[in-house]
């Protein structure tokens, strides 16, 4: 989002659970945005803060378009991010004796079902909600990219076309190169 906003920033690469990350977020996870010496953790909180602070890529708080934006955001977190995160836990995060390999088949099935639901909720235009990029576009692009890396198939053509458009954006390339 910082690249799309054109806001200068410094990217510091840190591994999860590293001392630097754990000092700023006791959960030991990134990303972490530091603003005026205050750490802000969790991706959606960071995206919402940046969009609201810069008056871009988010609809006005309290408006009906914002309610729709928040609805799409929550859907993506509940249906896409949660399935991918749970699959990651059972692949390499949890201790081996707690991992359930078979759960990944269920998660793939849920992920595919959620794609159908989302494809039916997508607006006409280049972005999830129409002709304007908004916060849920960042979450969806992240989740679809993660899905491919995790070998979760993207079965909806609207979503593969969408991901191709998002990954072709100069800001996407700039962020990936940091």
pLDDT-derived band at 145, boundaries 50, 70, 90:
very high
Residue among 104, 165, 105, 157 nearest 133 (CA): 165
CATH number assigned to the domain covering 64-176: 1.20.1050.10
Which pLDDT does position 61 carry in this prediction? Answer: 96
Burial letters 91-107, b for 16+ CB under 10 A, else e: eeeeeeeeeeeeebeeb
Which pLDDT does position 47 carry in this prediction? Answer: 99
Which pLDDT does position 118 carry in this prediction? Answer: 99
Residues 6+ apart with CB under 8 A from 154: 115, 144, 147, 148, 160, 163
Predicted confidence (pLDDT) per residue in 32-90, tens digit: 999 999 999 999 999 999 999 999 999 999 999 999 999 999 999 999 999 999 999 99
User: Which pTM value belongs to this model?
Assistant: 0.96
Which pLDDT does position 105 carry in this prediction? Answer: 97
Provide the token pair at 134. 């908004």
Give yes or no for a contact between 163 and 169, defined as CB atoms under 8 angstroms apart: no
Domain ranges, ordered by start, for the chain: 2-57, 64-176
DSSP bridge pairs for 5 = none
Report the greatest alpha carbon distance in the chain: 48
pLDDT-derived band at 173, boundaries 50, 70, 90:
very high
Which pLDDT does position 70 carry in this prediction? Answer: 98
Q: What's the average model confidence in pLDDT over 99-125?
A: 97
Q: In 10 A of CB 151, how many CB atoms?
A: 10
Q: Quick one: what percent of the chain has pLDDT higher than 70? A: 100
- The pLDDT mean for the chain works out to 97
Q: What's the average model confidence in pLDDT over 109-122?
A: 98
């Amino acid at each position: 989002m910082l690249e799309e906003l054109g806001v200068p920033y410094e990217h510091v690469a840190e591994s999860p659970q590293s001392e630097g990350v754990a000092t700023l977020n006791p959960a030991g996870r990134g990303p972490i945005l530091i603003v005026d010496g205050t750490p802000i953790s969790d991706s959606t909180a960071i995206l919402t803060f940046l969009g609201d602070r810069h008056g871009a890529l988010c609809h006005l708080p309290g408006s009906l378009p914002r309610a729709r934006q928040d609805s799409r955001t929550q859907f993506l977190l509940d249906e896409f991010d949660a399935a991918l995160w749970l699959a990651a836990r059972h692949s390499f995060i949890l201790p081996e004796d707690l991992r359930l390999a078979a759960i990944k088949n269920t998660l793939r099935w849920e992920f595919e079902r959620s794609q159908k639901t989302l494809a039916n909720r997508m607006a006409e235009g280049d972005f999830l909600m129409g002709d304007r990029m908004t916060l849920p576009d960042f979450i969806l692009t992240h989740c679809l990219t993660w899905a491919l890396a995790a070998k979760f198939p993207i079965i909806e053509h609207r979503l593969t076309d969408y991901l191709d458009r998002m990954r072709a954006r100069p800001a996407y390339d700039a962020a990936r190169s940091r």
